[in-house]
Amino acid sequence: MKPRDRLRIAMQKSGRLTEPALDLLKRCGLTFRQSRDKLFCFGEGEPVDLLLVRDDDIPGLIAQGVCDVGIVGRNVLGEFQLTAGRDGEPLAELRPLGFGRCRLSIAVPQELDYASSGDLAGRRIATSYPGLLGEWLRARDIDAAVVTLAGSVEIAPKLGTADAICDLVQSGGTLVANQLRETEVLLESEAVLAGPTTLPADERGDMLELLLKRLDGVIQVRESRLLLLQTSRHSLEAVTRLLPGGPQPTLLAVAGQTDQLMLQALCAGEVSWRQLEEIKKAGAREMFVLPVEKMLA
């Protein structure tokens, strides 16, 4: 294979992860010129290109070195490690990305008597995740038959081809619509940045390191708020005690008012009206909660 000097990221061509992944990359300062067939997108400012593929193909493309990293569900990555990628170098989950959240669960027909996982013994479980399900069953010493289906797993019990299913669940709506109830969670999933355990020792590695730093910033600011307020020196301690978690606040003098201070605090999460009202009661005024646009530690 010809050596590459540009970082290549694999992501889902069309599906649940496509929009949020493109949005995340955009926030990291990466924009792409879309090629006509939309399989390959050339990166415009930074030496980073995109390969748009089916999500199931992403771990394999990284393992083969066709791509350097990929944005894929933890469920797909985990399944690959236990099946097709079993004998190769394991891939690493470089960063959890905070979108595409779902869980891989076992569900049984509403009417089935189910008290514990032991009740799955001797049953047939339909799934598109034979690797993850097989491992879960083995770890619990449950002897059940795994029926591998490519899709429409949720109708298998109705069709009589399985007694239970193991599938992705987000809201649970699909399960209810099919008279199924969730009984076990095998894996909590979300989109992750997957890649090799050791970064390439060339320009691509440098670019990847830069991308990881930007991702950390983007993920952190997504939840961060900057809180600005004024307080008297007298109330400072009481006000500070009520501030939501985060690094130490910064204090600034207010021109012409020696008793007054301006306080600036970075908060790790949302600041609620209730919290603001409490802080105000402790002596703060002129309060502002601002979203954070970019952050570079």
Residue 75 partner contact from Mg ion, ligand ATP, none using kind-dependent CB cut-offs of 5 to 8 Å:
ligand ATP
Residue 216 partner contact from ligand ATP, Mg ion, none using kind-dependent CB cut-offs of 5 to 8 Å:
none
Taking the complex as a whole, the smallest distance from the CB of residue 57 to ligand ATP amounts, in Å, to 8
Q: State which of positions 95-134 bind ligand ATP (CB under 6 A).
A: 100, 102
Measured distance CA(276)–CA(266) in Å, rounded: 14
DSSP states of 183-252 as a string? EEEEEEE-EEEEEESS--SSHHHHHHHHHHHHHHHHHHHHH-EEEEEEEETTTHHHHHHTSPSSSPPEEE
By the rule CB under 6 A, 193 interacts with ligand ATP: no
Classify residue 275 by burial, with Cβ atoms within 10 Å: 0-12, 13-18, 19+: middle
285 φ, ψ (degrees, to nearest 5): -150, 175
Q: State which of positions 22-81 bind Mg ion (CB under 5 A).
A: 55-56
Binding mask 42-61 for ligand ATP (x = CB under 6 A): ------------xxx-----
Among 81, 105, 189, 231, binds ligand ATP (CB under 6 A): 189
Binding mask 223-262 for ligand ATP (x = CB under 6 A): ----------------------------------------
Please, which residues bridge with residue 70 across strands?
10, 194
- Under the rule (CB under 5 A), what is the footprint of Mg ion? 55-56
